[in-house]
Structure 1
Amino acid sequence: MRKIITFGTFDVLHIGHIRILNRAREHGDHLTEGISSDELNFSKKGRYPIYDFDSRMEMVASLRCVDNVFKEESLEDKREYIIQHNADALVMGNDWESKFDEFRDICEVIYLSRTPSISTTEIIEVIKEQP
């Protein structure tokens, strides 16, 4: 069985998330998703997610293509997460191109193109601008 791991926040779940998760799953038989904790998201983006961690975890876990979810609490622990979940490949969006090449010694690293013209940040900005 080929195991895939990927990571994300999945705040305001959208079609871009669904597409990249489905495509990640096509690279193996089992997909594990590390979901950023609320605190990790704040440290990365300077804001808390719209949806709390438990809600985001439930949404992603309900997707057919996702077999397992866990809490990602630290960016520095990615190597340990990959090893802990026995991943054969790490799949990330190509906005992270080359950022995770350091893990090629323990697994394959694959970067997938993202859905053009859609991002959580843009969606949140559009919602904020609504009267």
Structure 2
Amino acid sequence: MGDRLVGYVPGAYDMFHIGHLNILRKAREQCDYLIAGVVTDEVAEAAKGKRPAVPYEERLEVVASIRFVDEAVMDWSSDKYLMWEQLRFDVLFKGDDWKGTPKGDRLEAGLGAVGVRVVYFPYTAHTSSTSLRQLIGA
């Protein structure tokens, strides 16, 4: 990708909401080219214990249509190092609900070994796909 700073934002992006838009907007402000990784239904289910309410193909299409996203790709692994091997991004953006946790520490150590920075953004606590699911009984 040359001298461009490439950013990567993985997520389920289930029931797309303002928190998703905020992290994509903030990430795009800090890089030249933004790739959004949309996790498959299987990866999301393994991480959260339930399948997303919106199927993978639809979530990918929604994220790909957001103007802050230069490219939307399938995120097929919970191991973001494997995604880095495929995409070669320079910085990974996550919600700060990961910061200081064992999974966040593993993420930083694994990616830091190949020179990738991990940048955390404030988690939009008042709106999440989980809270929306609870609200609608899904």
**TM-score above 0.5:** yes
**SS of the residue aligned with 1:96?**
coil
Asked whether 1:108 is paired with 2:110, we answer: no
- The residue identity in structure 2 corresponding to 1:4 is G
Give the whole-Å Cα distance in 2 for the aligned partners of 1:122 and 1:108. 30
Count of paired positions: 128
Partner secondary structure for residue 22 of structure 1? helix
1:41-52 to 2 correspondences below 5 Å: 41-52=44-55
1:75 is paired with a residue whose SS is: coil
Q: How far off its partner does 1:52 sit? A: 0.4
Does residue 6 of structure 1 match 2:15? Answer: no
CA distance in 2, matches of 1:125, 1:32: 29
Given the two structures, how large is their TM-score scaled by the length of structure 1? 0.91
Contact (CA 8 Å) 2:37, 2:74: kept in 1 or not? yes
Report if aligned partners of 2:24, 2:68 keep a CA contact under 8 Å in 1: yes
- How far off its partner does 1:43 sit? 1.3
Q: Which of the numbers 76, 91, 94 marks the counterpart of 1:92? A: 94
Structure 2, unmatched stretches of 5+, are none
Q: What is the one-letter code of the residue matched to 2:23?
A: I
Deviation at 1:45? Answer: 1.6
CA RMSD of aligned residues (A): 1.3
User: 2 CA distance for matches of 1:87 and 1:43?
Assistant: 24
1:40 aligns with 2:43: yes
Q: Distance in 2 between matches of 1:24 and 1:126?
A: 28
Equivalent residues in 2 for 1:56-75, closer than 5 Å:
56-75=59-78
TM-score by length of 2: 0.87
Matched letter for residue 130 of structure 2? T
Unaligned runs of 5+ in 1: none
- Separation in 2 of the partners of 1:111 and 1:122? 21
Which one of 99, 102, 127 corresponds to residue 136 of structure 2? 127
Q: Once superposed, which parts of structure 1, at least 4 consecutive aligned residues long, lie more than 6 Å away?
A: none
